[in-house]
Structure 1
Amino acid sequence: MTYDIAVSFAGEQREYVVQFVEACKARGISVFYDRDLTNDWWGKNFIREQRKVYGKNTRYFLPFISTEYLAKPVPRDEFSAAMITAVNRGDGYVLPVLWGHVEVPTDLLHPHIHHLRADDYTPEQLAEAVARRIGVGGQQPARDISEVVQEALEYRMPKVVPQNFSTYRELDITYDYLADQLQAAVHQLESIGFVGTVRRGESKIAVRIERQGQTVYGLDIEKGGPYGDSSLNFVIGTHRVGAGGSSSNGHATPFFDREAQVPKLRMFNLSVFQEVGGPDREYTKEEFFAALWDRIVEQIEC
């Protein structure tokens, strides 16, 4: 099923969101709301099911971004899944609503993306604004003729790498992003009997996941390594091969995708993910973390 909108929020905002969802439904807007599918998802991995919706089965993604939202791994995972789709669809897929005085990191939401604030709207007023925005429950407002003419006069421009793009700066941004996401994600494993630790240094992130004192997954993410100081090197397990030598299960190097106009990672995979070898793959840092976390979950489910 494809929804008109999918909502993503922290539990602290559920009361407002429930009223908003009901107001949307009353206007003929189909809404993905997690508790509507409690029985359908019984026995399934709800995170994977939600990623399918936020990733491709909704026309618009509407996150209620609050301080609590940014602090919890599940909402952040939902946002990351949606951003993968946003890269392919372009502007307008994500319709952010900010809660209170939250400050959103620029790597999560570009400051030029327009947003609404929940404080300025009742749930019913916000539902009406959404209905107008997505063209459900009434006619979309007529566009000014000058706007249409201006679009027709726009010329195609070359897509180039920005002058201020830096491979090393992007490497640092990606390194910090992966460390933050892994720290938040492994903490949630404690609720199902695993203990996860993320040791973060200036040049290495060491991830270890234990169950009843036994290590069930290990991963080191290093800046540099055998493939140069502009790459991230990945080592699976807890023991190195050879005394003092470097090993690798894959490496990733930042680059700027001119077609998509976003920074990405070019991943040479040996065995970080399920397949071994194969062609290089390209990911945004959000896509890369989603794929990496899926692989970690698969490993500890074994």
Structure 2
Amino acid sequence: MHSSGQPGVYSAYPTIRGRLPLNSDVRPREMAIEYDVAISFAGEDRSYAEALADFLANEFGLAVFYDDFEQARLFGTFLLEKLVAIYRDKSQYCVVLVSQHYKDKRYTRHEWRSAQERAFREPDKDYLLPVRLDDTELPGLFETISYIDGTKTAARTVARLVYEKVGDFSKISARVRLADQKYREGLVADALEIVRDKQVDHNIDALRVRADCYGYLGDNVNALAALNAILAQRPRDFLSHFLAGIFSFRAGDFAASVRHYETADAISPGHPTIKSDLPLALAKLAGRDDA
């Protein structure tokens, strides 16, 4: 599923009466969090960034966003939009290589603002992991945030410290990716066994897979519980409201179905499935039999 929860991610959407599709060609999924850590840096500091990325990925086994690792994927994309999404939404942590070059560059300013937005959104989490390559004061980087002095600390040591910070999440991410793969292969019970663990109760990607599994198995109550857990973290997630509209209808809670469909439509108006299914939910809510 797409992290933004916007329509257009699926080439075929489920409906009130349709079963959730499993096939990845019909129901592609883009995980909300794709990287354990993203590295934000200026081109002049690439040698340090490259060494850090290499240690993180190849020695410590983390999923790292480093631009040279992603050349094919970034090729032809609207780069600024892609980078904003990565530094704001797609990484669990962000390592920022602070320098005068970083402060001055246009692209790094956009990356920094995106990372700041994420840090502001999750104030209880240490999202920003600054590594200072000189004594530049970066606007918005509070003096109270602990940093590593990159002029005195080798890239491998920084990589080890980052790994110690994100290691537990990395293990959870690997489990969720495995569950997602099993779901798309049709091994729904196996996928559910992985994401039913309470350790992943606050992981949005795990909750998405959990909702899909329960929904596919016809357990609307537990599917809704997973979707509501997502909405507690992301109240305007289109896809969660959309699916909650379906599962609420199937569970016989037509008022909730209408509410979720109307919220989804307000977030992104005109979706064809909502256009066809919302009147059915309204009819049921009114006690009519034409649904």
Give yes or no for TM over 0.5. no
Q: Which has the higher contact order (CA 8 A, sep 6+)?
A: 2
Superposition TM-score tier, normalisation by shorter sequence: 0.3 to 0.5
TM-score (norm 1): 0.43
TM-score (norm 2): 0.45
